[in-house]
Amino acid sequence: MTTDTGETLTTADGRTALRMERRLAHPPEKVWRALTEPGHLSKWFPSDVEMEPRVGGKVRFPFRHGEGETMEGEVVEWDPPHVVAYTWDEDVLRWELVPESLGSVLILTHTFADRPGAASFAAGWDACIAGIDPELAGEPVPAPGDMKAAHEHYVKEFGLDRGTAEELPVGWQVRFERQLTQPSATVWKTLLGGVAAPEVGGPVPRGFVVGDFAAGPVSELRPREVLAYPWDLHGRHEGTVRWELTRGTGHGARLVLTQTGVPEVPAALALDVWRDRVESLAAKLAAMPR
Protein backbone atom coordinates (compact mmCIF):
# COMPACT_ATOMS: atom_id res chain seq x y z
CA MET A 1 0.00 0.00 0.00
CA THR A 2 1.25 3.50 -0.84
CA THR A 3 1.78 5.71 2.24
CA ASP A 4 2.07 9.49 2.23
CA THR A 5 5.26 10.71 3.95
CA GLY A 6 5.05 14.38 3.06
CA GLU A 7 5.23 17.15 0.46
CA THR A 8 7.14 20.41 0.20
CA LEU A 9 7.00 23.29 -2.26
CA THR A 10 9.95 25.66 -2.77
CA THR A 11 10.61 28.43 -5.28
CA ALA A 12 13.91 29.93 -6.40
CA ASP A 13 14.98 31.89 -9.49
CA GLY A 14 11.50 31.72 -11.00
CA ARG A 15 11.31 27.92 -10.80
CA THR A 16 9.20 25.92 -8.34
CA ALA A 17 10.05 22.46 -7.02
CA LEU A 18 7.35 20.12 -5.73
CA ARG A 19 8.82 17.28 -3.64
CA MET A 20 6.64 14.33 -2.71
CA GLU A 21 7.65 11.24 -0.71
CA ARG A 22 5.65 8.02 -0.73
CA ARG A 23 6.34 4.64 0.87
CA LEU A 24 5.77 1.67 -1.43
CA ALA A 25 5.43 -1.99 -0.53
CA HIS A 26 7.98 -3.19 -3.10
CA PRO A 27 11.83 -3.08 -3.21
CA PRO A 28 13.62 -0.52 -5.40
CA GLU A 29 14.52 -3.10 -8.07
CA LYS A 30 10.84 -3.86 -8.61
CA VAL A 31 9.65 -0.25 -8.41
CA TRP A 32 12.35 0.67 -10.93
CA ARG A 33 10.49 -1.37 -13.53
CA ALA A 34 7.33 0.62 -12.83
CA LEU A 35 9.27 3.87 -13.33
CA THR A 36 11.05 2.92 -16.56
CA GLU A 37 9.28 0.11 -18.46
CA PRO A 38 6.54 1.19 -20.90
CA GLY A 39 4.23 -1.69 -20.02
CA HIS A 40 4.15 -0.65 -16.37
CA LEU A 41 4.22 3.10 -16.96
CA SER A 42 1.12 2.96 -19.16
CA LYS A 43 -0.91 1.66 -16.19
CA TRP A 44 -0.26 4.53 -13.78
CA PHE A 45 1.53 7.43 -15.53
CA PRO A 46 -0.70 10.18 -17.02
CA SER A 47 0.49 9.28 -20.55
CA ASP A 48 2.38 6.53 -22.31
CA VAL A 49 6.16 6.89 -22.04
CA GLU A 50 8.72 5.92 -24.66
CA MET A 51 12.21 6.25 -23.18
CA GLU A 52 15.74 5.56 -24.37
CA PRO A 53 17.38 4.21 -21.15
CA ARG A 54 20.51 6.36 -21.00
CA VAL A 55 21.56 9.89 -20.17
CA GLY A 56 20.80 11.98 -23.23
CA GLY A 57 18.18 9.49 -24.41
CA LYS A 58 14.98 10.77 -25.95
CA VAL A 59 11.65 10.57 -24.14
CA ARG A 60 8.20 10.85 -25.73
CA PHE A 61 4.89 11.22 -23.88
CA PRO A 62 2.03 10.24 -26.23
CA PHE A 63 -1.44 10.48 -24.71
CA ARG A 64 -3.54 7.37 -25.22
CA HIS A 65 -6.95 8.95 -25.73
CA GLY A 66 -6.16 12.34 -27.19
CA GLU A 67 -6.14 14.16 -23.82
CA GLY A 68 -3.27 16.32 -25.04
CA GLU A 69 -0.56 16.68 -27.62
CA THR A 70 2.48 14.40 -27.55
CA MET A 71 5.29 15.99 -25.54
CA GLU A 72 9.01 15.27 -25.73
CA GLY A 73 11.94 15.32 -23.33
CA GLU A 74 15.40 14.00 -22.59
CA VAL A 75 16.85 11.72 -19.92
CA VAL A 76 19.12 13.81 -17.66
CA GLU A 77 19.89 11.22 -14.94
CA TRP A 78 20.04 7.43 -15.21
CA ASP A 79 21.29 5.39 -12.24
CA PRO A 80 19.44 2.04 -12.00
CA PRO A 81 17.71 1.24 -9.70
CA HIS A 82 18.10 4.49 -7.79
CA VAL A 83 17.45 7.59 -9.90
CA VAL A 84 15.85 8.41 -13.22
CA ALA A 85 15.18 12.00 -14.26
CA TYR A 86 14.02 13.54 -17.50
CA THR A 87 12.58 16.70 -18.96
CA TRP A 88 8.95 16.96 -20.01
CA ASP A 89 8.76 20.02 -22.24
CA GLU A 90 10.11 22.72 -19.85
CA ASP A 91 9.51 20.70 -16.65
CA VAL A 92 11.88 18.24 -14.98
CA LEU A 93 10.70 15.02 -13.30
CA ARG A 94 13.18 13.31 -10.99
CA TRP A 95 12.32 9.93 -9.44
CA GLU A 96 14.52 8.58 -6.65
CA LEU A 97 14.20 5.26 -4.83
CA VAL A 98 15.54 4.70 -1.31
CA PRO A 99 15.40 1.13 0.09
CA GLU A 100 13.89 0.43 3.49
CA SER A 101 12.98 -2.72 5.38
CA LEU A 102 9.37 -2.96 4.19
CA GLY A 103 9.92 -1.79 0.62
CA SER A 104 10.98 1.60 -0.78
CA VAL A 105 10.61 5.30 -0.33
CA LEU A 106 9.83 6.97 -3.64
CA ILE A 107 10.87 10.62 -3.87
CA LEU A 108 9.46 12.64 -6.76
CA THR A 109 10.80 16.12 -7.43
CA HIS A 110 8.84 17.97 -10.12
CA THR A 111 10.39 21.29 -11.15
CA PHE A 112 8.32 23.77 -13.15
CA ALA A 113 7.62 27.47 -13.73
CA ASP A 114 3.89 27.64 -12.91
CA ARG A 115 3.77 27.95 -9.11
CA PRO A 116 -0.03 28.60 -8.98
CA GLY A 117 -0.50 25.24 -10.73
CA ALA A 118 1.36 23.34 -7.99
CA ALA A 119 -1.79 22.05 -6.29
CA SER A 120 -2.98 20.55 -9.57
CA PHE A 121 0.36 18.82 -10.06
CA ALA A 122 0.39 17.50 -6.50
CA ALA A 123 -3.17 16.16 -6.67
CA GLY A 124 -2.45 14.53 -10.02
CA TRP A 125 0.78 12.86 -8.92
CA ASP A 126 -0.89 11.74 -5.70
CA ALA A 127 -3.49 9.84 -7.74
CA CYS A 128 -0.93 8.49 -10.21
CA ILE A 129 1.58 7.22 -7.64
CA ALA A 130 -1.23 5.43 -5.80
CA GLY A 131 -1.41 3.12 -8.81
CA ILE A 132 2.20 1.85 -8.61
CA ASP A 133 1.77 -0.66 -5.77
CA PRO A 134 -1.34 -2.37 -7.23
CA GLU A 135 0.25 -2.46 -10.70
CA LEU A 136 3.36 -4.21 -9.35
CA ALA A 137 1.18 -6.59 -7.32
CA GLY A 138 -0.73 -7.58 -10.45
CA GLU A 139 -3.92 -5.96 -9.22
CA PRO A 140 -6.21 -3.53 -11.09
CA VAL A 141 -5.07 0.07 -10.87
CA PRO A 142 -7.92 2.20 -9.50
CA ALA A 143 -9.17 5.10 -11.60
CA PRO A 144 -7.93 8.48 -10.32
CA GLY A 145 -11.46 9.64 -9.40
CA ASP A 146 -12.39 13.17 -8.37
CA MET A 147 -9.28 15.10 -7.37
CA LYS A 148 -10.95 18.41 -6.47
CA ALA A 149 -10.77 17.83 -2.70
CA ALA A 150 -7.08 16.89 -2.93
CA HIS A 151 -6.45 19.97 -5.06
CA GLU A 152 -8.03 22.28 -2.50
CA HIS A 153 -6.08 20.56 0.29
CA TYR A 154 -2.80 21.26 -1.47
CA VAL A 155 -3.78 24.88 -2.19
CA LYS A 156 -4.04 25.42 1.57
CA GLU A 157 -0.97 23.33 2.43
CA PHE A 158 1.24 25.25 0.01
CA GLY A 159 -0.22 28.69 0.77
CA LEU A 160 -1.46 29.15 -2.79
CA ASP A 161 -4.58 30.90 -1.50
CA ARG A 162 -2.58 33.96 -0.44
CA GLY A 163 -2.45 37.10 -2.49
CA THR A 164 0.44 39.50 -2.94
CA ALA A 165 0.67 43.26 -2.46
CA GLU A 166 3.05 45.69 -4.13
CA GLU A 167 3.51 49.43 -3.95
CA LEU A 168 2.80 51.51 -7.03
CA PRO A 169 4.11 55.04 -7.72
CA VAL A 170 0.84 56.17 -6.18
CA GLY A 171 -0.96 53.64 -4.01
CA TRP A 172 -0.80 49.84 -4.26
CA GLN A 173 -1.95 46.74 -6.12
CA VAL A 174 -3.04 43.43 -4.65
CA ARG A 175 -3.08 40.32 -6.83
CA PHE A 176 -4.45 36.80 -6.50
CA GLU A 177 -3.64 34.07 -8.99
CA ARG A 178 -5.76 31.06 -8.07
CA GLN A 179 -6.17 27.78 -9.90
CA LEU A 180 -9.83 26.69 -9.80
CA THR A 181 -11.39 23.26 -10.24
CA GLN A 182 -14.05 24.13 -12.82
CA PRO A 183 -13.79 25.50 -16.38
CA SER A 184 -14.25 29.17 -17.18
CA ALA A 185 -17.87 28.79 -18.32
CA THR A 186 -18.86 27.29 -14.96
CA VAL A 187 -16.89 29.88 -12.98
CA TRP A 188 -18.47 32.75 -14.93
CA LYS A 189 -21.97 31.38 -14.49
CA THR A 190 -21.35 30.97 -10.75
CA LEU A 191 -20.11 34.55 -10.44
CA LEU A 192 -23.18 35.87 -12.27
CA GLY A 193 -25.40 34.06 -9.78
CA GLY A 194 -28.39 33.88 -12.12
CA VAL A 195 -28.56 37.58 -12.98
CA ALA A 196 -28.66 38.93 -16.53
CA ALA A 197 -25.40 39.17 -18.45
CA PRO A 198 -23.58 42.42 -17.56
CA GLU A 199 -22.85 45.21 -20.04
CA VAL A 200 -20.18 47.90 -20.17
CA GLY A 201 -21.57 50.90 -18.30
CA GLY A 202 -24.07 48.74 -16.42
CA PRO A 203 -24.07 47.46 -12.83
CA VAL A 204 -21.57 44.85 -11.67
CA PRO A 205 -23.11 41.49 -10.62
CA ARG A 206 -22.78 40.92 -6.88
CA GLY A 207 -20.57 37.86 -7.34
CA PHE A 208 -17.73 40.11 -8.54
CA VAL A 209 -17.97 42.51 -5.58
CA VAL A 210 -17.06 42.54 -1.89
CA GLY A 211 -18.96 44.72 0.56
CA ASP A 212 -15.96 46.77 1.65
CA PHE A 213 -15.54 48.37 -1.78
CA ALA A 214 -18.46 49.98 -3.61
CA ALA A 215 -18.50 49.02 -7.28
CA GLY A 216 -18.88 51.56 -10.04
CA PRO A 217 -20.21 50.58 -13.49
CA VAL A 218 -18.59 47.85 -15.58
CA SER A 219 -15.62 49.40 -17.41
CA GLU A 220 -14.22 46.37 -19.25
CA LEU A 221 -15.98 43.19 -20.30
CA ARG A 222 -15.20 40.02 -22.24
CA PRO A 223 -17.80 37.39 -21.31
CA ARG A 224 -16.30 34.33 -19.58
CA GLU A 225 -12.91 36.06 -19.55
CA VAL A 226 -12.72 39.58 -18.10
CA LEU A 227 -14.80 41.95 -15.98
CA ALA A 228 -13.41 45.17 -14.49
CA TYR A 229 -14.84 48.19 -12.71
CA PRO A 230 -13.79 51.22 -10.66
CA TRP A 231 -14.43 51.10 -6.95
CA ASP A 232 -15.35 53.97 -4.68
CA LEU A 233 -14.98 54.87 -1.03
CA HIS A 234 -17.13 57.65 0.46
CA GLY A 235 -18.27 58.51 -3.07
CA ARG A 236 -14.74 58.97 -4.44
CA HIS A 237 -13.01 56.83 -7.07
CA GLU A 238 -10.12 55.03 -5.39
CA GLY A 239 -8.97 52.33 -7.82
CA THR A 240 -9.95 49.45 -10.08
CA VAL A 241 -10.96 45.81 -9.56
CA ARG A 242 -10.31 43.39 -12.43
CA TRP A 243 -11.32 39.72 -12.72
CA GLU A 244 -9.71 37.62 -15.44
CA LEU A 245 -10.23 33.93 -16.23
CA THR A 246 -7.61 32.19 -18.34
CA ARG A 247 -6.71 28.62 -19.19
CA GLY A 248 -5.29 26.92 -16.13
CA THR A 249 -3.59 23.68 -15.19
CA GLY A 250 -5.69 20.63 -15.97
CA HIS A 251 -9.40 21.16 -16.65
CA GLY A 252 -10.00 24.20 -14.43
CA ALA A 253 -9.76 27.92 -15.10
CA ARG A 254 -7.06 30.17 -13.69
CA LEU A 255 -8.38 33.24 -11.90
CA VAL A 256 -6.25 36.39 -11.81
CA LEU A 257 -7.85 39.02 -9.58
CA THR A 258 -6.25 42.43 -9.12
CA GLN A 259 -7.22 45.58 -7.27
CA THR A 260 -5.48 48.94 -7.22
CA GLY A 261 -5.96 51.44 -4.42
CA VAL A 262 -4.71 54.57 -2.72
CA PRO A 263 -2.51 54.85 0.40
CA GLU A 264 -5.45 56.03 2.54
CA VAL A 265 -6.93 52.51 2.26
CA PRO A 266 -4.66 49.74 3.60
CA ALA A 267 -3.66 47.08 1.09
CA ALA A 268 -3.93 44.55 3.93
CA LEU A 269 -7.68 45.12 4.02
CA ALA A 270 -7.96 44.27 0.33
CA LEU A 271 -5.84 41.14 0.81
CA ASP A 272 -8.09 39.91 3.61
CA VAL A 273 -11.46 40.54 2.03
CA TRP A 274 -10.53 39.28 -1.43
CA ARG A 275 -8.93 36.15 -0.01
CA ASP A 276 -12.20 35.36 1.74
CA ARG A 277 -14.15 36.03 -1.44
CA VAL A 278 -11.89 33.92 -3.68
CA GLU A 279 -11.79 31.02 -1.24
CA SER A 280 -15.57 31.08 -0.87
CA LEU A 281 -15.86 30.88 -4.65
CA ALA A 282 -13.26 28.09 -4.86
CA ALA A 283 -15.04 26.02 -2.18
CA LYS A 284 -18.36 26.37 -3.99
CA LEU A 285 -16.78 25.26 -7.28
CA ALA A 286 -14.99 22.32 -5.67
CA ALA A 287 -18.29 21.06 -4.27
CA MET A 288 -19.84 20.90 -7.75
CA PRO A 289 -19.61 17.85 -10.01
CA ARG A 290 -17.25 18.34 -12.91
Per-residue pLDDT of 204-255, as tens digits, reads 999 999 988 999 999 999 999 999 999 988 778 889 999 999 999 888 999 9
Mean local confidence (pLDDT), 263-273: 93
pLDDT at 65 (0 to 100): 66
| One domain for residues 172 and 73 | no
pLDDT band at 4 (very low <50, low <70, confident <90, very high): low
| One domain for residues 169 and 143 | no
Mean local confidence (pLDDT), 114-142: 95
Mean local confidence (pLDDT), 24-42: 95
| One domain for residues 138 and 186 | no
pLDDT at 28 (0 to 100): 96
pLDDT band at 2 (very low <50, low <70, confident <90, very high): low
| One domain for residues 276 and 220 | yes
Mean local confidence (pLDDT), 59-76: 85
The H-or-E segment that residue 31 falls in is: helix 28-36
Mean local confidence (pLDDT), 62-69: 74
C-beta of residue 16 within 8 angstroms of C-beta of residue 104: no
pLDDT at 251 (0 to 100): 83
Number of folded domains in the chain? 2
pLDDT at 3 (0 to 100): 62
User: Which DSSP string do the residues of 157-212 spell out, in sequence order?
Assistant: HTTTT--EEEE-SSSEEEEEEEE-SS-HHHHHHHHHTTPPPP-TTSPPPGGG--TT
pLDDT at 272 (0 to 100): 96
For residue 256, the enclosing domain spans 164-286
| One domain for residues 100 and 146 | yes
- Domain endpoint, select from 157, 173, 206: 157
Whichever domain contains 270, its CATH number is 3.30.530.20
- Whether 1 has a pLDDT exceeding 60, the answer reads no
- Domain endpoint, select from 157, 178, 201: 157
